Amino acid sequence: MRRYKTSYPISWRFMDVLEAAFALVLPRGGGRLTPYLLLTPAVLLVGTLAVGLLYIGDSSLRVLDRSTFLFSDYWTLENYQRAFSESFTATIIWRSLVGAVIVTAVTLLLAFPYAYVMVRTSSALLRKFLLVALFLPFFIGQVVRAYGWLIILGNQGIVNDALALVGVEPLRLLFNYPAVLFGLVQYMLPFGVLMLAPALTAIPEDIEAAATSLGANWVRALFHVVLPMARPGLIGAGVVVLTLSLTDFAMPAILGGGSQDFVANAIYDQFFRTSDQGFGASLTLILIAVGSMTVGLIFAVFGAGTLALGANRK
Amino acid sequence: MNRSPTQTIVFWSVAILCVVALSAPTLVVLGASFTAGNIIDFPPDGFSLKWYVAILGERDLQQAFLRSVIVACICVAVSVPAGTLAGIALSKYQVKWAGALQIYLLLPFTVPLIGSGIGLMLLFGELRLLGSLWPIGIATAVINLPFMIWAVSSSAASLDPDLELAAQSCGAGPLQTFFNVTLPAVTPGVITGALLMFILSLNEFLVSLLLVDARIVTLPVQIYNSIRAIITPDLAAVSVVFIAVAALAIIILDRIVGLEVFLKSK
Amino acid sequence: MNFERKLNRRSLLKASAAVGATGLASVSMPSVLRAAEPDKPSELIIRAWGGPWVEALKNGVSDPFTEKTGIRIIHDLTEDNEIQPKVWAAVAQNRTPPIHINWDTTTNATKSALRGVCEDLSDLSNLSGTTDLAKPVGVDGYPIVNTYGYVYVLAYRPEAFPDGPPKSYHDLLDPKFKGRIAFYNDGIGFHFPAQVAGGGALEDIPGNMDACWEFVEKIKAQNPLLGEDPDFVTWFQRGEIDAACTISTNALGAKRSGVDIAWTVPEEGAKFDTDGLWIPKGHSESDLYWAREYINSALTQANQQVWLDGLGLPGVVPGLTPPEGLAGDPSYPTKPEDFERLIRISGQIQVENESEWFSKFKQIMQG
């Protein structure tokens, strides 16, 4: 009895008390409720946003009276009718969607090799360097970052100066659709890599080695072994990049020169420039619907990526 | 292992291209902070530390920075537990209505930031919560939460259900199993997710803009707002200090928990 | 024509004489001061624009106010557009608004006034010494006090116009300016000159603006850049553009920071407008009192002189000395004949139609 007491560390005792308390609150560890209990904090957090959306939904059903700048005290679908009747809405939705798809494809194409060499390189120093390089762009803020691009890609920027040396006339590299997409890819790349990296660390190197030693060249090994195994990560990264690009407003504002607006820019204009919260709110809900349906479609076609792993396995 | 030289060349070329694209504007701005001139330009116009001296005297900026750090800490404290549990739940268990739940949990990304900002402003305003820093921390936790959930669930792929069963059959309680078996397995995701949450929260400006007032303004909001007329090199200097502090944080984190183990392929 | 407002000064020379005699400082504090003076808040929050704008306000109004009253002034640099929903939400939810005073464009402020979120400022003592410009048009009383006027000039790089300044917006249609001209995102400041440039009449605003939109279409074919104040300065600085329709203060700011830039009022004319100060409802009696004192102090000649020297703009009290180099400048109108080439549309028409003009302009530019 004495010996038992001394060899039983305090931390274990502490754990025992916790376990007992836990068992008291949740008999059988919560049983089938466990996943729902684990999800509760996250669901509640996102709930603040959902409640915020109720306010937005309410605004979207009220029209602005421009003689008092107050909103109607009754509900109407006028804002939605206006949104769907203007060809402008279709233009910006299409531009945002196409942009988001292109950005996602390019980002994944670039992020995959980046994440791959980051997790597979044998040098710890290189790995840290690649990791830190991912975080570098965050710290200068969007506006200063755009200024940096102006210095590099502007008419009198570094790239055009270099081109001038070989006799090329200055090119307009900024303030067009490709510039917006380029800016978005640069912005999304870190997210893409960081979402992919954990998925790649989970793929044992031996499997790949086995494939190549059995005579598959690296491209085949990549397509038949690595990519399928990294699929959850690819879908996760894809969904993140797609939704964030779809709803971005900074890049089109900064690198689009004012003529390449995405839906979020139109929402910004309504909320902040024309004081029409009602119309802005209806555009917001339309954009959320477009985004959520796209995500739903991706989940339906590709499976729910990383999140469905456990479910698939069972 | 023997890797094909072609693959090495292709992958490294892409990685180097990415590093250049990622760091180019930052490096330009970094260089420009040492200019002796009055505008951000590259190559900088002479060398001087005058813009650093200028921000040294700016108590406003220092306080704003401190507030940003507090906001980021609150964000991490809230989002890491919530995101980790959700990530584990979604990857380990069969959940009813999983598809709808995932779309719901992706709301922070499908709602444009302006919509999130306005919605949270109205909600927090109604609850009389505006005017302190912690609601901003909560807000940045909410709008970035999917990163945390997904970072954890993507590393949960290496979670071995047999190991958990083994622990339980050896008499470990559910909490012990969680802390000794489940959590260590997803730690890589928790660490990368937490790092990302911290950095994103530290730099968030659009939603914060709608939730702060002048007494509790955070650094990114302060910077965003001060660019009304001319972008001066002091903003570049602020960025440099910001990066230095962040680098320090990453180094400390690396010393304490070792980033290496979490990213290296096994 | 109701567009050219004659700026008849109020004949209150007596008031200004009194100001001169007793010294400006003492008059900026009204007589109420001697009676019960409400408790002083430790600080007041004034929304302002950043850069040279807030510098000028700080030197001209905030610092003297703090010196006199001991109340600290915090400048909130949130954009005027972005503070609006915050203030409106606070008033709607019966919360204390995030700012005590909003330094705002008159058009934006008029929207707040129509919505009923502005405190009335009609009985500020120093209003008696101001010109007509101080009175907002289209609203009752003084929910806003205008504090100066400004002109949306055509700013240009002299290097790009070797034959002298551009005479007309038609000059910008020259192919060599393709992609090298800039306007505000929503086209503000350009709608009215565009109406003239397109062959329309100002009297037809807002009923018939086809001429304006036709000309905007022509401008669109030139691939203009669209931006906000900081963008123009940056673009001029980096040689991205040759000409822009922008507020003269930005051009002046760029010039003072060493950019080679000049400005002109083209033959179509230029939009003239005002900015003002107002107080959102929902503050305590004492905070309101001191916020009103702040605005009152912004209307003294001494404070206007310093504030507006920084901005390079004409104020609303008589007897200001133009900043160096701006006497007779088209961006610094003071005499009735200076206003002949400036376009001023009533605030009410602007407020009611602005959103439509903005979206029309955007749609053309996004096409």
* A5 or A302, which is more confident: A302
* C7 has a pLDDT exceeding 50: no
Q: Name the residue type at position B10.
A: V
Answer whether C122's CB lies under 8 Å from C142's CB. yes
List CB contacts of A281: < 8 A, sequence separation 6 or more: A56, A57, A58, A59, A60, A79, B115, B118
Residue A249 lies in domain: 86-313
Candidates A271, A275, A276, A277: best to mutate against C (most CBs of C within 10 A) is A275
* pLDDT grade for C25, boundaries at 50, 70 and 90: very low
* pLDDT grade for A313, boundaries at 50, 70 and 90: very low
The pLDDT value recorded for residue A312 is: 43
Tell me: do C134 and C222 sit in the same domain: no
Q: Name the closest residue on chain B to residue C232, using Cα atoms.
A: B229
CB contact under 8 A, B153 and A141: no
Q: What is the mean pLDDT of residues B141-147?
A: 96
Answer whether A284's CB lies under 8 Å from B115's CB. yes
Chain B residues within 8 Å of chain C (Cβ atoms): 38-39, 118, 121-122, 125-126, 128, 130, 209-210, 213-215, 217, 221-222, 225-231
Closest to C120 in 3D by CA, of C291, C254, C243, C5: C291
* C224 or C229, which is more confident: C224
In a domain, C300, yes or no: yes
* C333 has a pLDDT exceeding 60: yes
CB contact under 8 A, A68 and C84: no
Q: Which residues of C touch A66 (CB under 8 A)?
A: 351-352, 355
* A278 has a pLDDT exceeding 70: yes
Answer whether C102's CB lies under 8 Å from C47's CB. yes
Chain B closest CA to A146's CA: distance in Å?
8
Chain B closest CA to A19's CA: distance in Å?
6
Task: Give chain A's end-to-end CA distance (angstroms, integer).
Answer: 44
CB contact under 8 A, A49 and B14: no
Count of A–B CB contacts within 8 Å? 377
Closest to B95 in 3D by CA, of A36, A305, A298: A36
CB contact under 8 A, C75 and B214: yes
> How far is it, in rounded angstroms, from Cα C7 to Cα C74?
34
Q: Name the closest residue on chain A to residue B260, using Cα atoms.
A: A124
A162 at interface of C, judged by CB pairs closer than 8 A: no
Tell me: do C105 and C145 sit in the same domain: yes
Q: Name the closest residue on chain A to residue C111, using Cα atoms.
A: A69
* pLDDT grade for B222, boundaries at 50, 70 and 90: confident
Beta-bridged to residue C181, according to DSSP, are C243
* B178 has a pLDDT exceeding 90: no
The pLDDT value recorded for residue A308 is: 45
A249: domain CATH number is 1.10.3720.10
The pLDDT value recorded for residue C285 is: 95
> How far is it, in rounded angstroms, from Cα C75 to Cα C310?
16
The pLDDT value recorded for residue C8 is: 37
> How far is it, in rounded angstroms, from Cα C177 to Cα C173?
7
Tell me: do C126 and C139 sit in the same domain: yes
Residues 84-103 of B with CB under 8 A from A: 85-86, 88-95, 98-99, 101-103
* pLDDT grade for B264, boundaries at 50, 70 and 90: low
Q: Name the closest residue on chain A to residue C105, using Cα atoms.
A: A273
Q: Which residues of B touch A111 (CB under 8 A)?
A: 18
* B168 has a pLDDT exceeding 50: yes
Task: Among A68, A147, A257, select the one facing C234 at the smallest CB separation.
Answer: A147
Q: Which residues of C touch A259 (CB under 8 A)?
A: 223, 226, 365-366
> How far is it, in rounded angstroms, from Cα A233 to Cα A309?
10
DSSP for chain B, please give it.
----HHHHHHHHHHHHHHHHHHHHHHHHHHHHTT-SSSS--SS-SS---HHHHHHHT-HHHHHHHHHHHHHHHHHHHHHHHHHHHHHHHHHHS--TTHHHHHHHHTHHHHS-HHHHHHHHHHHHHHTT-TTSSHHHHHHHHHHHHHHHHHHHHHHGGG--HHHHHHHHHTT--HHHHIIIIIHHHHHHHHHHHHHHHHHHHHH--HHHHHH--GGG--HHHHHHHHTTS---HHHHHHHHHHHHHHHHHHHHHHHHH-HHHHHS--
CB contact under 8 A, C76 and B217: yes
Chain B closest CA to C198's CA: distance in Å?
31
> How far is it, in rounded angstroms, from Cα C315 to Cα A97?
48
Three state DSSP letters for chain C: CCCCCCCCCCCCHHHHHHHHHHCHHHHHCCHHHHCCCCCCCCEEEEECCCCHHHHHHHHHHHHHHHHHHCCEEEEECCCHHHHHHHHHHHHHCCCCCCCCEEEEEHHHHHHHHHHCCECCCCCCHHHHHCCHHHCCCCCCCCCCEEEEEEEEEEEECHHHCCCCCCCCHHHHHCHHHCCCEEEECCCCCCHHHHHHHCCCCHHHCCCCCHHHHHHHHHHHCCCCEEECHHHHHHHHHCCCCCEEEEEHHHHHHHHHCCCCCEEECCCCCEEEEEEEEECECCCCHHHHHHHHHHHHHCCCHHHHHHHHHHHCCCECCCCCCCCCCCCCCCCCCCCHHHHHHEECCCHHHHHHHHHHHHHHHHHHHHC
CB contact under 8 A, A277 and C85: yes
B191 at interface of A, judged by CB pairs closer than 8 A: no
Tell me: do C185 and C223 sit in the same domain: yes
Tell me: do C94 and C219 sit in the same domain: no
Element (DSSP H or E) covering residue A207: helix A205-213
In a domain, C160, yes or no: yes
Residues 25-54 of B with CB under 8 A from A: 25-26, 28-29, 32, 40-42
Answer whether B176's CB lies under 8 Å from B151's CB. no
* pLDDT grade for C2, boundaries at 50, 70 and 90: very low
Chain C closest CA to A89's CA: distance in Å?
10
Q: What is the mean pLDDT of residues B207-219?
A: 94
The pTM assigned to this predicted structure is 0.90
* pLDDT grade for B226, boundaries at 50, 70 and 90: confident
Answer whether B199's CB lies under 8 Å from B246's CB. yes
Closest to C281 in 3D by CA, of C146, C103, C116, C42: C116
Q: Name the closest residue on chain C to residue B38, using Cα atoms.
A: C257
> How far is it, in rounded angstroms, from Cα B130 to Cα B121?
8
Closest to A131 in 3D by CA, of A179, A229, A201, A202: A201
Tell me: do C216 and C299 sit in the same domain: no
Lowest mean pLDDT among B218-227, C310-319, C350-359: B218-227
The pLDDT value recorded for residue A210 is: 81
- Give chain A's mean pLDDT: 87
- Cβ atoms within 10 Å of C171's Cβ, excluding its own: 17
The pLDDT value recorded for residue A27 is: 64
* C24 has a pLDDT exceeding 80: no
* B157 or C270, which is more confident: C270
Answer whether A221's CB lies under 8 Å from A215's CB. no
CB contact under 8 A, A306 and B157: yes
Count of A–C CB contacts within 8 Å? 83
Closest to C301 in 3D by CA, of C128, C129, C84: C129
Q: Name the closest residue on chain B to residue C249, using Cα atoms.
A: B229
Buried b (16+ CB within 10 A) or exposed e, C301-317: bbbbbbbbbbbbbbbbb
Chain B closest CA to C51's CA: distance in Å?
5
List CB contacts of C213: < 8 A, sequence separation 6 or more: C198, C360, C364
List CB contacts of B31: < 8 A, sequence separation 6 or more: B42, B43, B44
Query: Taking CA C60 as the corner, what is the angle to CA C112 and CA C122, rounded to the nearest 5 degrees?
Result: 40
The pLDDT value recorded for residue B175 is: 79
- Cβ atoms within 10 Å of C146's Cβ, excluding its own: 24
Answer whether B123's CB lies under 8 Å from A61's CB. no
In a domain, C103, yes or no: yes
In a domain, C2, yes or no: no
Look up the ipTM and state it: 0.91
Tell me: do C24 and C143 sit in the same domain: yes
What are the pLDDT digits (tens) for C176-216? 999 999 999 999 999 999 999 999 999 999 999 999 999 99
Answer whether A236's CB lies under 8 Å from A199's CB. yes
Task: Among C75, C90, C230, select the one facing B229 at the smallest CB separation.
Answer: C230
* A175 has a pLDDT exceeding 50: yes
The pLDDT value recorded for residue C13 is: 36
In a domain, A244, yes or no: yes
C333: domain CATH number is 3.40.190.10
A259 at interface of C, judged by CB pairs closer than 8 A: yes
What are the pLDDT digits (tens) for B51-76? 898 888 888 888 999 999 999 999 99
- Domain regions of chain B by residue span: 58-263
Sign of CA dihedral A239, A244, A247, A253: negative
- Give chain C's mean pLDDT: 89
In a domain, A66, yes or no: no
Touching chains, B (3+ CB pairs < 8 A) = A, C
Task: Among C84, C116, C365, select the one facing A275 at the smallest CB separation.
Answer: C84
The pLDDT value recorded for residue C19 is: 41
Tell me: do C360 and C323 sit in the same domain: no
Tell me: do C228 and C350 sit in the same domain: yes
Closest to C359 in 3D by CA, of A64, C367, C178: C367
Q: Which residues of A touch B247 (CB under 8 A)?
A: 132
Chain C closest CA to B220's CA: distance in Å?
12
* B111 has a pLDDT exceeding 80: yes
Domain B58-263 in this protein, CATH class:
mainly alpha
- Torsion angle, alpha carbons of C15, C20, C22, C23, to 10: 120
Task: Among B118, B126, B228, select the one facing C229 at the smallest CB separation.
Answer: B228
Touching chains, A (3+ CB pairs < 8 A) = B, C
The pLDDT value recorded for residue C14 is: 38
* A19 has a pLDDT exceeding 60: yes
What share of chain C has pLDDT > 90, as a percent? 74
User: In the 8-state DSSP scheme, what is residue A139?
Assistant: G
* A276 or C30, which is more confident: A276
The pLDDT value recorded for residue B106 is: 94
Residue C175 lies in domain: 151-272+341-366
The pLDDT value recorded for residue B180 is: 80
CB contact under 8 A, B154 and A120: no
* A173 or A29, which is more confident: A173
Q: Which residues of A touch B32 (CB under 8 A)?
A: 151
What are the pLDDT digits (tens) for C138-185? 888 999 999 999 999 999 999 999 999 999 999 999 999 999 999 999
Q: Structurally, how many domains does chain A consist of?
A: 1
Q: What is the mean pLDDT of residues A284-309?
A: 82
The pLDDT value recorded for residue B188 is: 76
Chain C closest CA to B226's CA: distance in Å?
5
Closest to C62 in 3D by CA, of C322, C321, C295, C312: C295
Maximum average pLDDT range among B5-9, C242-246, C346-350: C242-246
CB contact under 8 A, C98 and B226: no
In a domain, C120, yes or no: yes
Q: What is the mean pLDDT of residues C54-62?
A: 96
Residue whose pair of structure tokens reads 């303030």 in the numeric block: A175
Six-digit token pair at A180?
């917006």
The pLDDT value recorded for residue B230 is: 61
Q: Name the closest residue on chain A to residue C365, using Cα atoms.
A: A259
* C49 or B156, which is more confident: C49
* A57 or A22, which is more confident: A57
Task: Among B28, B114, B259, select the one facing A268 at the smallest CB separation.
Answer: B114
User: In the 8-state DSSP scheme, what is residue A270?
Assistant: I
> How far is it, in rounded angstroms, from Cα B263 to Cα A127?
8
Q: Name the closest residue on chain B to residue C87, using Cα atoms.
A: B210
* A314 has a pLDDT exceeding 50: no
Tell me: do C136 and C189 sit in the same domain: no
Tell me: do C323 and C350 sit in the same domain: no
Q: What is the mean pLDDT of residues B182-209?
A: 87
In a domain, A163, yes or no: yes
